Amino acid sequence: MSDLLTVVSIIEAHDDEDAEAAQDDYQDDGVDNQFVLEIEGRIVGVTGFRTVPATDETYWLSWTYLLPEYQGKGHGKAMLLELLDMLAALKARKLFVKVSDYQDDDGKLYDSAFKTYQSLGFVEEVVNLDFYDEDENQHILSLDLKGQAAGEGDDVNVIEEKPIIRFCGLLEIAETDGAYTFSWEVKDTKKWFGKRNFTVEDLTLGLSAAQESGARKVFLTFPSNLPLIHQPLQAAGFEFVGCVDDYYEQGIHEFHFVYTI
C-alpha cells in the first residue's frame, strides 16, 4: 500500500480513468496478490491477480502496466512470466484478462499489451462491442494454466440448475460510459408456487430504468447451466454475444448477453 501513489502514477501515464479506477480498486479490495516491478531500485511496473468468488481456481489479471520508457524491452513479459509461476504454485486453472481496443491519433493504446498476452498463449474468447464507449470494445482473453485440451471439458457431466433468480439493482459498469448491468441474486425459498425465474416483465422494467439513466447498452452474464434464462432474455430483445469457456469450472462457461438501447 505504501507504493500506491507510485503505482497510480504509472497507470496514469497511460490512462487517467484507469488510474482513478485502479486506486479505488486497491483501496476497496486491498493489495493482496498485487506486485510491483523494481529495476535498480525504481518501481517501473505493476501487475497482480484477483480470485473469482464461487469458481474453481479461476483468476483475473489485475492492473498491469509499465512506465512508457520501459516498454518494448521485455520487462512486461518477464513480469508476467513471474506472475504465472506464482499462479502455477497456487494450482490455478484459468487466468482471464480484459483489454480495451481504444484508439487515438497514435494508434491503439493497448496494442502492445494485447500482443504480449498473445505471445504468452492467451487466446481471445469474447468481444463485447461498444463496451467502454462507442467504438471502444472489450476483448476478453484467457490463458489455460493446466493445459486442458480444447473440447475436453465437453465430456464433463454438468448438472443443469433452475434456481430462483431475482434482479436486485441497476448499476453503470466501472470504466465505461453508458454501459449498464443488472445485479442479481439467487433467492433461497422453498415455495412451490410463484415464478421460478426472472421474466420478460422483469427485464423490461430494468431496461426502462437503464434508459432513463442514460444507458447505451445493458450487458448481462450468466453461468451456462441455467436453462431458464434463455427464453425471457431472447423475448426481451437481448442478443447472445458469446461464451467464456470453463469460467466457473470445467464445463460450466460464462454466457454473455447484450441489449442495445
Chain-centre distance for alpha carbon 216: 19
Res 156: pLDDT: 76
Q: Where are the domains of the chain?
A: 4-148, 159-260
pTM for this prediction: 0.91
CATH class of residue range 159-260: alpha beta
Q: What is the mean pLDDT of residues 183-204?
A: 80
Q: Does this chain's domain 4-148 share its CATH topology with 159-260? A: yes
What single string gives the DSSP state of each residue in 199-246? -HHHHHHHHHHHHHTT-SEEEEEEETT-GGGHHHHHHHT-EEEEEEEE
Residues 16, 49 contacting (CB under 8 angstroms): no
Spatial separation of the C-alpha atoms in residues 9 and 15, rounded to whole Å: 10
Q: Is 206 exposed, middle or buried (0-12, 13-18, 19+ CB in 10 A)?
A: buried
Q: Which of 225, 214, 233 shows the shortest CA–CA distance to 167?
A: 233
- Amino acid, single-letter form, for residue 71: Q
Q: Which of 96, 86, 93 shows the shortest CA–CA distance to 147?
A: 93
User: Model confidence over 6-42: pLDDT tens digits?
Assistant: 999 999 998 898 999 999 999 999 999 999 999 999 9
Which pLDDT band holds residue 126 (cuts at 50, 70, 90)?
A: very high
Task: Measure the CA dihedral 132/133/135/136, to 10°.
Answer: -30
- Homologous superfamily of the 4-148 domain (CATH): Gcn5-related N-acetyltransferase (GNAT) (3.40.630.30)
CB 66: neighbour CB atoms within 10 A? 24
**Has residue 236 got a pLDDT over 90?**
yes
Res 147: pLDDT: 77
Which pLDDT band holds residue 75 (cuts at 50, 70, 90)?
A: very high
Q: What is the mean pLDDT of residues 189-204?
A: 77
Which pLDDT band holds residue 65 (cuts at 50, 70, 90)?
A: very high
